[in-house]
Homo-oligomer: A and B are copies of this chain.
C-alpha cells in the first residue's frame, strides 16, 4: 500500500502553510508565481495526490459524475457512455454509473446512491422518470443532463432527438420507396420504443396505410433472434406485409436472416428498416437501411455541458436536438414490380 503524502508534508517542504498549497493547486493564479513554483516542485518531489474523500468532506461536493442508464450491454447506451467517457476520462471527474434495468424503482434507488455522494453532475437516460425520481432530480443541486431524447419540461439540460419524428421519417422513407403494407417490429416496449411506434403509426395513418394488425411486438428484451421470431410471426399472420420498420437494428438483422430462411427476397418482397444504424447495418448483405442516431455525440455533448457549467463557462443552449437521419440502403430499395400487382 503506497503511503499517502499529505498536503501538510508538501507545505512543510515548500516552506508555506497547507492552505497555500491547497490554493496553489486549485486556483494557481491566487498565489505568487515564485511561491507556486516552489510548491509545484514539492508536489512533484513527493508525488503528492489529493485525497478525494477529504476534499469531498471539506467541500460538501464530490468529483463524481453519476450516469444512470437502463442497460450496460445495449449498444445504444454503451455508445453514449463512450461519448461521455471520451470527454470526462482525462478530467478530474470520476464517472460512476448505475444500471436501472429499465426499472423505475431501481432508478430511484440509484439516484439516492448518487445523490448522497453529492455528485458534481448527473446524466440520466430518458425523460420518463417517476414523480419521486423527478423530485429527487429537481433538488439534485448539480448540473444535470437528460440524454437519449428531447421532450418538454426538462429538469435542467437535455440532449437527444425526437424518437417520434425519427420513426416517422423512416416510415416516410418506406412509403416513398413504394412499400404499401408496412409493419412494425418492436421488443422491449420502453417509453422510447413506444414513441417510435407512435411516429410510425402517425405517418402510416397519414398515408392511409396503417394497419394495427401489422404491429408485432413483445415486452421481451430485444435480440437478433427475437427479430427473426417477430418477423416470422408477422408474416405468418399477414403474409402480404411488404415492409417492416424495426424498432432497432438487432431486430432488423434478425428479420433479414429470417427473410432469408423463409425465402422472402429483400428488398423485392420485403423492405427492412432498422433503427440506430449500428455499424453492421452497412456491412450486411443486402446493406440494411437504418436511422442514424448520434449516440456517441449525445454522450459527448452531455459531458461537455456539465463541464461547462461546472467551470462556469457558457454551456450553450440547454436543449440540444441532435436529430436523426435515415440512412437509405439496399434493403429498402422498393418492392419488385409484379406483373400481377400492377400498382
Interface residues of A in 62-113 (CB under 8 A from B): 62, 64, 72-73, 75, 78-79, 81-82, 85, 89, 94-99, 112-113
How far does the alpha carbon of A253 sit from the alpha carbon of B85 in the complex, in Å? Answer: 28
Residues of B within 8 A of A258 (CB): 285
Does A53 sit within 8 A of B, measured CB to CB? yes
How far does the alpha carbon of A113 sit from the alpha carbon of B139 in the complex, in Å? Answer: 29
How far does the alpha carbon of A306 sit from the alpha carbon of B192 in the complex, in Å? Answer: 37
Does A257 sit within 8 A of B, measured CB to CB? yes
Beyond A75-B73, A99-B89, A228-B283, whether A116 also contacts B52 by CB under 8 A is: yes
Residues of B within 8 A of A227 (CB): 283
Report the nearest B residue to A92, measured CB to CB.
B113
Scoring A residues 250 to 283 as 1 if CB is less than 8 Å from chain B, else 0, what string do you get? 1001100110110000000000000000011011
How far does the alpha carbon of A261 sit from the alpha carbon of B283 in the complex, in Å? Answer: 11
Beyond A95-B96, A99-B89, A283-B223, whether A117 also contacts B52 by CB under 8 A is: yes
CB-contact partner of A72 in B49, B54, B56, B78, under 8 A: B78
How far does the alpha carbon of A50 sit from the alpha carbon of B139 in the complex, in Å? Answer: 19
In the complex the two chains form, is B62's CB within 8 Å of A53's CB? yes
Name the prevailing secondary structure of the A interface residues: helix
Report the nearest B residue to A114, measured CB to CB.
B94
Does A57 sit within 8 A of B, measured CB to CB? yes
Beyond A224-B280, A261-B285, whether A53 also contacts B95 by CB under 8 A is: no
Residues of B within 8 A of A118 (CB): 53
How far does the alpha carbon of A336 sit from the alpha carbon of B310 in the complex, in Å? Answer: 65
Number of A residues near B (Cβ < 8 Å) is: 55
In the complex the two chains form, is B52's CB within 8 Å of A279's CB? no
Residues of B within 8 A of A113 (CB): 94
Report the nearest B residue to A81, measured CB to CB.
B72
Give, as a whole number of angstroms, the nearest-CB distance from A321 to chain B.
24
Give, as a whole number of angstroms, the nearest-CB distance from A151 to chain B.
25
Does A15 sit within 8 A of B, measured CB to CB? no
Give, as a whole number of angstroms, the nearest-CB distance from A74 to chain B.
9
Does A1 sit within 8 A of B, measured CB to CB? yes
Q: A73-B78, A223-B280, A258-B285 are in contact. List 18 more A-B contacts (CB 8 A).
A: A1-B140, A52-B53, A53-B53, A53-B56, A53-B57, A73-B79, A75-B75, A95-B97, A223-B279, A223-B283, A224-B279, A224-B283, A225-B282, A228-B283, A253-B280, A253-B283, A254-B280, A260-B285
